[in-house]
Chains A and B, each alone.
Chain A
């Protein structure tokens, strides 16, 4: 690397010796250089700009930027070079060298130093070079990136010099890339230099690098073309990897949503054998609970907004759970052992719940806000991860884990499993089966409510919210194998990932159709799902 840099520096210096040898005024005399501006021709001004920049004077950036903007004037009264700034709507003049204010000046009291486009470019380049030495690393990084985005061979030596002086690693990186791009832009650069530059750019491994290098594949120089070709291929491979990683992430994210929607169903359908078509509406109730809580917080306790989801979650669990218990006691318990009838009755319940919510809250989408910790995104390599999706994944897994513990490790879980396996025996042992049924159903419903809290963050909260998940969540449970929570987990994530991997090829809708058809075919092959409960008892 050091050799490369020396190479670059030396060659660039040889190729672009600092132009226009100084006459008057003397190099390094900032005041004199600025003073020479008003009377110089465009060509001379351009030379002066380079020399002003070369002084590295603190005032240089201000002066040059004002020049490019047409705000650098000479006062008619005393011929002083001033920067004209807008102060409260009036033009005020400030001395370019001392910063001293001349106060408000009349409109015709000064004349601007004229600039043309070529001059503006020269100023921009000079300012860029100057900013490269700014004390703030963030500004230097910005300048380096700006230099990368607008490559100019003429700037290459300045960049290389800045690179040599630079201490900050991130800025060094950006600078070396800017140098490399400037070299590539320069038709006169030597082949080894350009190859080295290709390597530097290729190391970025992103779309920008691809954009820079792809045209070079057509380069008349075979060596360059080959090097660029190889680099492009490497980058493409890396991008494919990142793409895949991004798809996996999207898939996991969709999977977590499916898991949330389906996991309550895995309890009611999988464990109890009850087809609860109102499950989606329980999710919807959870989402509306969130809306309701946020509304109260917005009007009465705005400071608590970031806590709204944490407050809504237990409430949603209770609301949906209570409605679930009511459904079980009022309707489902008359229909045990008749799954198809349960399906119809709970469908009726779902219609009533939907219409009730529609009557109370109206048919339109309701606004549910993201708390600050759920907004925004961060990047890993070339993939973007939004915080809300990340939290939902975490939340889904947490709910799953808690549910698993409840089912496996707590007395109520034990009773639930006992009633499922042998109702009569459980009743004989003193378990109140009716109460356990209600609690199991309530648990499934409560989890649907929790799902609603999460889904309110990424989906429209409307009375139809539940309907859009019902087919999907049944698919997850059936695919994973009823009665097996791990199956539901695996089912949700594999359906999510399959969907997202198909989407780039087939489009969102077609991908969904393909996944549905695949599941239908899968059910033919394994009618009891991925993790079926096997054994002789199954179809006895």
Chain B
């Protein structure tokens, strides 16, 4: 398998605080990867760096082994095929659920194209399909702002899928969900892995276990351990810094 994403020796500090410290990490195409770590381990900063929101001080971030992601901004990485879901669900609250998905649909993102855009039947069909997948068919015309917290999470996942990205960066998708929903999310993510590459940041150990995938443990901005959940759980260092607390 080829490598989708590679971070090599990445450093980033804020006012002297090293948020990311010599971080190296590779994710293969189609892989499902969970990233865990205590608060302040650098998970969010890592995602910011991958998506071009934050520039690393030093180090390389390579996409498909040849594109330097550190030169791109958020829109650039998104157009390349990196989709991101935030910890706190952010949807376009004053627009309908349908419009939210429509805005995220993979399409030409230039100003002129959107100005003269006409929605095709294929688009509408795809929207219907996605709404069905995230169980929001009934809420199609509702305002996104009127949705419950869990529904917003699902809408955001729907928007993420609408982008049809190669790589999905998912930040704590299970927050605010019921146990059943959490399990369904895990199932969904497992289902799309393979076709897409998925990196999940999560606190909820049950959720990580349900993902049943390779786990990377971050601590103080670098990789502490990597392997199956059982493997890293047995690592004494991991127990000390993370599970031990």
Contacts and interface: CB of A to CB of B under 8 A. Distances in A.
Interface of A: 534-536
Contacts of B45: 536
Nearest to A539: B53
Nearest to B53: A539
A536 B20 CA distance: 12
Given A536-B14, A536-B19, 7 more contacts: A534-B14, A534-B15, A535-B14, A535-B15, A535-B17, A536-B44, A536-B45
Contacts of A536: 14, 19, 44-45
A431 to B, nearest CB: 26
Nearest to A540: B44
Contacts of B17: 535
A517 B15 CA distance: 29
A486 B45 CA distance: 29
Contacts of B19: 536
Interface in B72-128: none
A338 to B, nearest CB: 15
A469 B206 CA distance: 60
Contacts of B15: 534-535
Interface of B: 14-15, 17, 19, 44-45
A486 to B, nearest CB: 16
9 contacts: A534-B14, A534-B15, A535-B14, A535-B15, A535-B17, A536-B14, A536-B19, A536-B44, A536-B45
Closest 8 CB pairs of A and B: A535-B14, A534-B15, A536-B14, A535-B15, A534-B14, A536-B19, A536-B45, A535-B17
A536 B19 CA distance: 9
A535 B15 CA distance: 6
A534 B13 CA distance: 11
A535 B54 CA distance: 11
B211 to A, nearest CB: 27
Nearest to B19: A536
Contacts of B44: 536
A332 to B, nearest CB: 25
A166 to B, nearest CB: 66
B74 to A, nearest CB: 12
A534 B15 CA distance: 7
A535 B12 CA distance: 11
Nearest to B54: A536
A536 B15 CA distance: 9
A395 to B, nearest CB: 34
Contacts of B14: 534-536
Contacts of A534: 14-15
A462 B19 CA distance: 54
B34 to A, nearest CB: 23
A534 B45 CA distance: 15
Nearest to B45: A536
A535 B19 CA distance: 10
Contacts of A535: 14-15, 17
A535 to B, nearest CB: 5
A535 B18 CA distance: 11
A484 to B, nearest CB: 13
B175 to A, nearest CB: 16
Nearest to A534: B15
Nearest to A536: B14
A535 B44 CA distance: 13
A536 B53 CA distance: 11
A528 to B, nearest CB: 13
A270 to B, nearest CB: 19
B80 to A, nearest CB: 22
B225 to A, nearest CB: 25
A536 B14 CA distance: 7
Nearest to B44: A536
A52 B139 CA distance: 118
Nearest to A533: B15
A536 B12 CA distance: 11
A534 B54 CA distance: 13
A58 B71 CA distance: 92
A151 to B, nearest CB: 67
A483 to B, nearest CB: 14
Nearest to B17: A535
Nearest to B40: A536
A534 B14 CA distance: 7
Nearest to A535: B14
Nearest to A537: B14
A530 to B, nearest CB: 16
A341 B19 CA distance: 36
B40 to A, nearest CB: 10
A536 B49 CA distance: 12
B208 to A, nearest CB: 24
B94 to A, nearest CB: 15
B132 to A, nearest CB: 34
B181 to A, nearest CB: 26
A534 B19 CA distance: 13
B35 to A, nearest CB: 17
Nearest to A538: B14
A23 B82 CA distance: 117
A535 B14 CA distance: 5
A534 B17 CA distance: 11
B23 to A, nearest CB: 16
B77 to A, nearest CB: 17
Query: Which of B14, B17, B19, B44 counts the most A-chain CB atoms under 10 A from its CB?
Result: B14
B43 to A, nearest CB: 12
Nearest to B88: A540
A536 B13 CA distance: 10
B63 to A, nearest CB: 24
A536 B45 CA distance: 8
A155 to B, nearest CB: 73
B116 to A, nearest CB: 31
A536 B46 CA distance: 12
B150 to A, nearest CB: 23
B14 to A, nearest CB: 5
B220 to A, nearest CB: 15
B86 to A, nearest CB: 11
A536 B43 CA distance: 13
A534 B12 CA distance: 13
